[in-house]
Structure 1
Amino acid sequence: MARTALTREEVLDTAAALVKQHGPDALTMRKLAAELGTAVTSIYWHVGNRESLLDALVERTVDDLAAITPHGRTPAARIVSVARALRRELRERPHLVAMVHERGLTERMFLPAQRALVREVHAAGLRGARAAEVVRAVQFQVVGHVLVERNRERAPVQSPAEVDLWATETAGADPALARALAAPVDADRLFTTSVRALVDGLLAPRGEGAGSPD
């Protein structure tokens, strides 16, 4: 028997789960209705047609990324926390983020995280062009890291693999380096290390006469 107590939020939750797992092409009104145990007409009643449903999922994704909250005792720590949270959100919903991009809402999606970064950069004493440089550098670091991770995950099996390529002689007579480069990448640790180094460098006082690199 078809269920009756259905809400718009439940429809969106189920639709988002389908997109996350299988991509937007797998989201049909008939499949969504089957997942919810209801009639297709009930789906239309709550969210309209499929395009309206996709628009609602995009808006929800944008709103979800607006909920990022900085944590930490210093501006640098809070900037790193925003970067980590943004990476996590982008990694958890690649198909939904792609839908946001396709609808021309990428800049709006990133705006809340950028504004959080601006507050922390101001708290660190930076203003103007230098503050903007930090905000953009952190955003680019996050997006670039996520793209590299996604490409590595979707790449075909490598032959030879890293474990086959790195030996003492190819690592400059540094066996510890060879072992480390042959081991699986700890993406979480690598991201945190790189973004901390980036932030520390960008927030460090510049010497007299120092400027942006050419």
Structure 2
Amino acid sequence: MARSSLTREEVLAAAAGLVRQHGPDALTMRKLAAELGTAVTSIYWHVGNREQLLDALVERTVQDMGAVRPVGRTPAERIVSVARGLRRELRARPHLIAMVHERGLTERMFLPAQQALVHEVHAAGLRGARAADAVRAVQFQVVGFVLVERNRERSPAQSPAETELWDDPAAAGAAAPDDPALTHALTRPADPERLFLLSVRALVRSLLAPAG
């Protein structure tokens, strides 16, 4: 039995869920109607045709990405929190982010995060071109890190893996014969969350350091 009441927001939320799980190609009006337990005509009434639905999803994603809010006691802590939030949001919705990019709205999507970063670099005393460089450096760091993560996750299984290569005494000895702790650490899988925090904190510390 079809649902008698349905809101546009419920339709968009269900559509976004399907895209997040299976990609844009899996989003059909029939699948969406089945997911919501309603008639296809009801979906059309709320969001129009499929292209209009995709446009609405893109707009919703842009708005959601604007919800990143800084937290922390210092400008440096708040900048790191924006970077963490941006990474989390980008990783949570890769298919939707790709749709935003395809429609030429990537820069608009990043604007709220950039505005938050501008406020914090100003609070840290940066102005002009140096402040702009700091904002972009943090943004590029986040986006680049996410792209590397996604590439590693989607790549075929490596044989031998990095950890196995560094477990080879000959290779480890040739690269760092006087640093066994380093080679031992490289035999363990990378921790992306720890590496992200390490890199972004180091970047922010460098960017906010007094000039000269």
Say if 1:86 and 1:113, in contact at 8 Å, map to a contact too. yes
Q: TM-score, normalised by structure 1?
A: 0.95
Percentage of matched positions with identical amino acids: 79
Is 1:105 aligned with 2:105?
A: yes
Structure 1 stretches of at least 4 aligned residues deviating more than 4 Å after TM superposition:
none
Q: Which residues of 2 match residues 52-71 of structure 1 at below 5 A?
A: 52-71=52-71
- Taking the aligned partners of 2:26 and 2:54, their CA distance within structure 1 comes to 12
- Taking the aligned partners of 1:82 and 1:69, their CA distance within structure 2 comes to 6
Of 195, 200, 214, 2:205 maps to: 200
Residue 189 of structure 2 aligns with which residue? 184
Say if 1:171 and 1:177, in contact at 8 Å, map to a contact too. no
Distance 1:35 1:184, change over 3 A: same
Is 1:172 aligned with 2:176?
A: yes
- Taking the aligned partners of 2:32 and 2:191, their CA distance within structure 1 comes to 36
- Taking the aligned partners of 1:50 and 1:180, their CA distance within structure 2 comes to 50
- Taking the aligned partners of 1:49 and 1:75, their CA distance within structure 2 comes to 45
Calculate the aligned-residue CA RMSD, in Å. 0.9
Residue 89 of structure 2 aligns with which residue? 89
Letter in 1 for 2:166: W
Q: CA deviation at 1:178?
A: 1.4
Say if 1:118 and 1:135, in contact at 8 Å, map to a contact too. yes
Moved more, 176-185 or 100-109: 176-185
Say if 1:58 and 1:100, in contact at 8 Å, map to a contact too. yes
SS in 1 for 2:70: coil
Say if 1:76 and 1:199, in contact at 8 Å, map to a contact too. yes
- Taking the aligned partners of 1:175 and 1:43, their CA distance within structure 2 comes to 62
| Count of residue pairs brought into register by the alignment | 207
Q: CA deviation at 1:175?
A: 2.1
Residue 210 of structure 1 aligns with which residue? none
Q: TM-score, normalised by structure 2?
A: 0.96
Q: Which runs of 5+ in 1 are unaligned?
A: 208-214
Letter in 2 for 1:40: V
Q: CA deviation at 1:179?
A: 2.1
